[in-house]
Amino acid sequence: METSTSTSTSASTSISTSTSTSSESISTNISASNCIITEKNIIGTVVTVNRLKHYAFIKRNDNDLHQDIFARDVSIKKNQHKQTFFISDQCKFDIKKTSRGFEAINITIIQRNIDSIGRLKKISKKKTNDHQPKKDSYALFQSTITNLFREALKEK
C-alpha cells in the first residue's frame, strides 16, 4: 500500500511524505489556491514568542480592536535578519484566513532591537551570596558567648 500526503503552506512551499508497501495507492493533496489573503502590508509588533514550537503572536499597530495574529517562523521572508522572532520586532505582513482563525504570512522584519539572544543580559540562576548577614550573626554569637563566660566567671 502506498500512501502519499502533500501539504502546502504557501504557493512556493510544499511538504510531502510517502510510504509504500503494496500496489494500492491513496493520495491526498491540499492546494495552496484555497489560501485567501484578507489584508496586505499590515504593520505590527511581536508580543509573544514560543521558540520551542517556532511560532509567535503579532499585535497590529493600526487597530487595537483585533486580536493578536498567529505567525510561524517559516513564514518569515529571508532578508538580513535571522528567520526567528524576538519580542518587540517590528514586522510587515499579510493576513490569511485559516480554519482556526487568522495567520500572518509573507512576514518581513522591518526593525529588530536585539540581533540575537546571545546579546541579552544573562540572569543568574544561583542566589547571590550575601555575606553581610553571616558576619552580623557571627558577631552577635561571639558577643553572646563572651558575655555568658564573663557572667559564669563572676558567679564563682
48, β-bridge pairs: 57
Give CA–CA dist 32/10, Å, rounded: 6
What's the confidence (pLDDT) of residue 13?
42
What's the confidence (pLDDT) of residue 124?
67
The residue with cell 559564669 is: 152
What's the confidence (pLDDT) of residue 11?
43
CATH 3.65.10.10 fits 35-117, yes or no: no
Which residues in 51-73 are b (16+ Cβ under 10 Å) and which e?
A: eeeebbbbebeeeeeeebbbbbb
Point out the residues of the chain with pLDDT beneath 70. Answer: 1-34, 115-133, 135, 156
Q: Where are the domains of the chain?
A: 1-34, 35-117
61, β-bridge pairs: none
